[in-house]
Amino acid sequence: MNKNHNPKPMLKYLMATLILFASLLSFGQTQKPVIAILATGGTIAGSAQSSVQASYNPGILSVEQIISSVPAVNEIATLEAIQVCNISSQNMEEQIWLQLWKTIDSLFANKLCDGVVITHGTDTMEETAYFLNLTVRHPNPVVLTGSMRPASALSADGPFNLYNAVALASSKEAYGKGVMVAMNDLFFCANDVTKSHTTNTAAFTCPNYGPLGQMRDGKPSFFRENLFIHTTRSQFELKGVDKLPGTEILYAYAFASDLPFYSLIEQGTKGIVIAGAGHGNYNRPFATAMEHASKKGIVVVRSTRIPSGGVDKAAEEYNSIFPVSYNKNPQKARILLMLALTQTKDTKKIQEFFEKY
């Protein structure tokens, strides 16, 4: 042993290491991510008269009541609760979308939270998710969740869905991944996710690309990446927008009437998406009405009522002069068209949007 060894500097070094270690530990404890829970209603806020009945009323519980059913979320994040509305999502309104966008934009721009979780009815969750995916221009996680069983049901799925959504929104891995939907232990990208079962707890799928990943023990494990343009790379700007261009969907089926077409043309609709049969097909009256609409400056996009496979430029019977939606289902194609129409009516440019977003 070196006789000249002086224990003091060593002690000092040890103490400094301990203090640093302790402060790192306490930093870890106090610096939980801040997650804003934006509640909009749906079954996750729903209540039935008994724990086993199928009928119930959505949009009953407040955001505080929903959160209080999942005490474990407080261990992973510091929560800020905001009640945006309390509706069934079939009653979603354009003004609520704009309000959601404004709230999220200002929360992130002012660094008031690290991530956002939106509780939402499952019926139109995929639409709100895609709208925000194209318009929230921040890399912070935005995750939508809900439930298929009301909060009062036996084996309600809302609490675990909320836990997983908060865990996903709190994770580093979720940064820059675009808006996601977390349901039934899986999470999905907003551009492909769709509700594909009316009542089952495994109601959501990404029919073209599969889920983005799954939650286990409060940690996300990603299976793949979403390569479509979203959030920070999106060119859609909502600042100063208080009304979106009127855009509707028309469904094609055997001997479908063209009457709704002419009524939309008369009402000054700006864009129409065709939920075509098969590979984006429609009957002769539709074909005539579509040409008429496009002569009036209405942008018509061919999509499909088939859940997977999408529509490309190939066409039967008619020369396809209309933009196609590729893998966007009609409800997502409508949102992209609506936002595209805030910038252009040029069908070539609109087609390019469908290739990239």
123, 126, 127, 157: which one binds ligand GLU (CB under 6 A): 123
How many angstroms separate the CA atoms of 192 and 63, rounded? 28
194 lies in the site for ligand GLU, by CB under 6 A: no
Phi, psi for 37 (deg, rounded to 5): -100, 115
Phi, psi for 315 (deg, rounded to 5): -145, 150
127 lies in the site for ligand GLU, by CB under 6 A: no
122 lies in the site for ligand GLU, by CB under 6 A: yes
Contact between 100 and 84 under an 8 Å Cβ cutoff? The reply is yes
Q: Work out how close the CB of 47 gets to ligand GLU at its nearest, in angstroms, rounded to a whole number.
A: 12
* CA dihedral (216, 221, 224, 226) positive or negative: positive
Q: Work out how close the CB of 41 gets to ligand GLU at its nearest, in angstroms, rounded to a whole number.
A: 6
Residues in the chain: 357
Q: Looking at beta carbons only, is 41 or 220 nearer to ligand GLU? A: 41
Q: Looking at beta carbons only, is 85 or 315 nearer to ligand GLU? A: 85
How many angstroms separate the CA atoms of 101 and 95, rounded? 10
344 lies in the site for ligand GLU, by CB under 6 A: no
33, 42, 220, 310: which one binds ligand GLU (CB under 6 A): 42
Residue range at the interface with ligand GLU (CB under 6 A); choices 35-43, 222-230, 301-309, 322-330: 35-43
Write b or e for each residue in 322-342: b if 16 or more Cβ atoms lie within 10 A of its Cβ, otherwise e: bbbbbbbbbbbbbbbbbbbbe
Query: Is 43 noted as a catalytic residue in this protein?
Result: yes
Binding mask 69-108 for ligand GLU (x = CB under 6 A): -------------------xxx------------------
Of residues 132-161, those binding ligand GLU (CB under 6 A): 146, 148
Structure tokens at 267: 């009402």
35, 36, 38, 58: which one binds ligand GLU (CB under 6 A): 58
What is the identity of the amino acid at 129?
Answer: A
First CA to last CA across the chain, in angstroms? 69
Active site residue: 30, 40, 43, 128, which one? 43
Residues with a catalytic annotation lie at 43
